[in-house]
């Protein structure tokens, strides 16, 4: 029986051929789906970036084609050195994990960027809606406030986007610790309720503040 023997040199050539085909597909994919990010990169530069990205992804044990594609997309949308950006140590921690496979790493990075975008959107809302209240707060401080507020809202089972935003509104207009102030135990009682969902809790806090304002106006 004739046995087919594939030499190491032949195997390497086959792997290089398949890698070249994949890189070509990625070139077309990135050009078609990200035409403006960045728009001034030449074809040669893009091919070099793809090659570098494939090698870097594999160094993080990201080896499946779909996952490598995700890695390359992050390089295009968030910068070719996104994986080494000191401003985002969370990403380095994800990529260095030995407990996640390539798909899980790409998914987790995607969630991380989604959370960043959500934070930025909420911070912008606070700037535009409450310019006076946020005028003395730096961008970094506001970002920290948003993160703290999102975490705190979640701890009270307030998870819907609109309800979380209103929780943050209270932090800006009523004080960052409005939910813990001893002067208003009613708020703590509302937030600790297991019978109301997040939206109901926020509505109830609205009513509470409205009643306070009505009482204050009546006393005047």
Band of pLDDT at residue 8, cut at 50, 70 and 90: low
- What is the maximum span of the chain, computed from C-alpha positions, in angstroms? 104
Does residue 200 surpass a pLDDT of 60?
yes
Residue 4 predicted with pLDDT over 70 = no
Distance from the Cα of residue 101 to its chain's centroid: 19
- In this prediction, residue 12 carries a pLDDT of 59
pTM across the whole model: 0.78
Identify the weakest region by mean pLDDT among 12-26, 128-142, 164-178. 12-26
Over residues 29-70, the pLDDT tens digits come to 999 998 887 677 899 999 999 999 999 999 999 999 999 999
């Amino acid at each position: 029986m004739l046995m087919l023997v594939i030499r190491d040199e032949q195997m390497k050539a086959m792997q290089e051929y398949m890698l070249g085909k994949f890189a070509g597909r990625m070139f077309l994919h990135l050009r078609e789906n990200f035409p403006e990010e960045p728009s001034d990169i030449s074809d040669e530069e893009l091919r070099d970036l793809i090659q570098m990205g494939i090698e870097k992804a594999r160094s993080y044990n990201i080896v499946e084609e779909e996952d490598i594609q995700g890695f390359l997309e992050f390089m295009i949308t968030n910068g070719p050195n996104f994986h080494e950006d000191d401003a985002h140590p969370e990403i380095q921690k994800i990529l260095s994990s030995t407990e996640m496979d390539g798909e899980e790493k790409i998914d987790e990075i995607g969630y991380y960027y989604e959370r960043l975008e959500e934070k930025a959107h909420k911070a912008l809302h606070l700037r535009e809606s409450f310019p006076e209240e946020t005028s003395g707060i730096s961008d970094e401080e506001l970002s920290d406030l948003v993160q703290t507020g999102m975490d705190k809202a979640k701890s009270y089972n307030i998870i819907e986007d609109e309800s979380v935003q209103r929780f943050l509104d209270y932090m800006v207009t009523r004080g960052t610790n409005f939910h813990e102030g001893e002067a208003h135990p009613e708020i703590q009682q509302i937030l600790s309720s297991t019978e109301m969902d997040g939206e109901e809790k926020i509505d109830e806090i609205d009513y509470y503040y409205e009643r306070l304002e009505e009482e204050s106006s009546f006393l005047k």
